[in-house]
Structure 1
Amino acid sequence: MPDIKSLFATRLYHAPLSAHTPTIDQDELENSCLVIAGDDEAGQDWCEANDFPGYTSYASLTDLPWRFPIFADLVKALDAHVIEFAKDLQFDLGDGKLVLDSLWINILPEGGIHTSHIHPHSVISGTTYVAMPEGASAIKFEDPRSAMMMAAPTRQKDARDELKSFFYVAPAVGDVLLWESWLRHEVPMNMAEEERISVSFNYGWEK
């Protein structure tokens, strides 16, 4: 019998945010996101100038945990999830540690998309989901080897997850997803009439 292995695995962490304390009140988190979006004129201007659908605080606010206590609690919960994921990835951090370096709100209206991208200068990236109305788009991950598969045939529709060219995750409110920051991903068009709300973040290696 042949010896067939899976090599160079791409790990994806998916868990309830509430698996680690403190417990986050999802209604309060959603309300806080909406209040910030309504008040953040610099973020609104950036979105308009860059044809960004809906709202993101990515280019305007860097102090969410200071502004609203619930975001400080959120960071504590995310820290615990990132520690767990880093153990699974078997990172040798030496005397260093993974530290949050950015945290931002995304509000995606009907018809909005987040095009394919990676998160440079970070180690672990992720998103926690605040509002996912029926019909809201999943997040789509791309096989990082795709650029080197110029002559490869497509995969069968029922291919195993680790062999698919693209993998979709439809998270629920209160879920958190983590992945290594080099993994390309996108949010396809939001087909829901209501807004899709999430909070995304990056962790870097502090040596």
Structure 2
Amino acid sequence: MSKIESLFVTRLYRAALREFGPAIDTAEMEASCYSIAQDDEAGQTWCEENGYPGYTSYASLTDLPWRFPVFADLVKSLDAHVAAFAEDLEFDLDGKALTLEDLWINILPEGGTHSSHLHPHSVISGTTYVTMPKGASALKLEDPRSARMMAAPVRRKTARRKLQPFIYVEPKVGEVLLWESWLRHEVPINMADDERISVSFNYNWG
């Protein structure tokens, strides 16, 4: 009898932040994000000069946990989630934990997008969601083998989820998503009337 098995699995971690670490008040997190965005003139300038819709602190701030206690609590929670994901991935970390490399705010307005990208030099990347108004963008994940498929026909629209070339994940407020940093991803156009707020991060090793 023939046998078909799935190989080289790509894992996606999804959980509520509250499963690990201190309780995170999303209203407090939202207010903190807006407060930082309002005061961060360097970040505002970078967004304008680089055509970034809305606001991100990616290129301007490296000390969010110092600025507001809610971000310090967030890091404690993320550390535990990342450790759980690393265990699931069966990484041999040689006694060295994965550690936070950077943490940044994203405020995406109506019509804003974040084009396809990956996170070089990191091991685990992810995002937690502060506001997700109705119509807000899902996270779009791309099959990492796409560039090697050459003459392969497209998949049927009804293909099994694990065979789809793109996966759309609709996160909820208070959730965290984690993936390996080589996985290409994007945020399609935000169709919501209100802003979509998230906090993204990278973890490295060694």
> Is TM-score (shorter-chain normalized) higher than 0.5?
yes
Displacement of 1:125? 0.1
Per-residue deviation at 1:159?
Answer: 1.4
Q: What does residue 39 of structure 2 align with?
A: 39
The residue that corresponds to 2:178 in the other structure is 178
SS of match in other structure, 2:167: strand
1:85 aligns with 2:85: yes
Aligned residue pairs total: 206
Distance 2:19 2:30 in 1: 19
How far apart, CA to CA, are the structure 1 residues paired with 2:99 and 2:72?
14
| Secondary structure of 1:18 counterpart | helix
Matched to 1:116, the amino acid is S
Equivalent position SS for 2:98:
strand
- Report the equivalent of 1:59: 59
What is the CA distance between 1:162 and its match in structure 2? 1.3
State the one-letter code of the partner of 2:96: G
Q: Provide the rounded CA distance (Å) in 2 between the counterparts of 1:90 and 1:158.
A: 32
- 1:104 Cα offset (Å): 0.1
Q: Percent identity?
A: 71
CA deviations on 1:52-96 (whole Å, 9 max, x unpaired) are 000000000000001111000000000010010000000000021
State the SS of the aligned residue for 1:127.
strand
Partner of 2:69: 69
Correspondence list, 1:116-195, <5 A: 116-195=116-195
Consecutive unaligned residues of structure 2, counting only runs of 5 or more, are none
Distance in 2 between residues matched to 1:14 and 1:111, nearest whole Å: 26
What do residues 118-144 of structure 1 show as CA deviations (whole Å, max 9, x unaligned)? Answer: 000000000000000000010000000
Q: Aligned ranges for residues 97-108 of structure 1 at < 5 Å? A: 97-108=97-108
Structure 2 CA distance, aligned partners of 1:84 and 1:53? Answer: 33
Match of 2:110 in 1: 110
Counterpart CA distance in 1 for 2:155 and 2:15 is 28
Q: Name the Cα RMSD after superposition.
A: 0.6
The letter for the 1-side match of 2:104 is W
Structure 1 stretches of 4+ moved >3 Å: none
State the TM-score, normalized to the length of structure 1. Answer: 0.98
**Separation in structure 1 between the aligned mates of residue 22 and residue 156 of structure 2, nearest angstrom:** 42
CA distance in 2, matches of 1:2, 1:174: 44
Paired with 1:176 and 1:153, the residues of 2 have a C-alpha distance of 34
Unmatched tracts of structure 1, length 5 or more: none
Residue identity in the other structure for 1:3: K
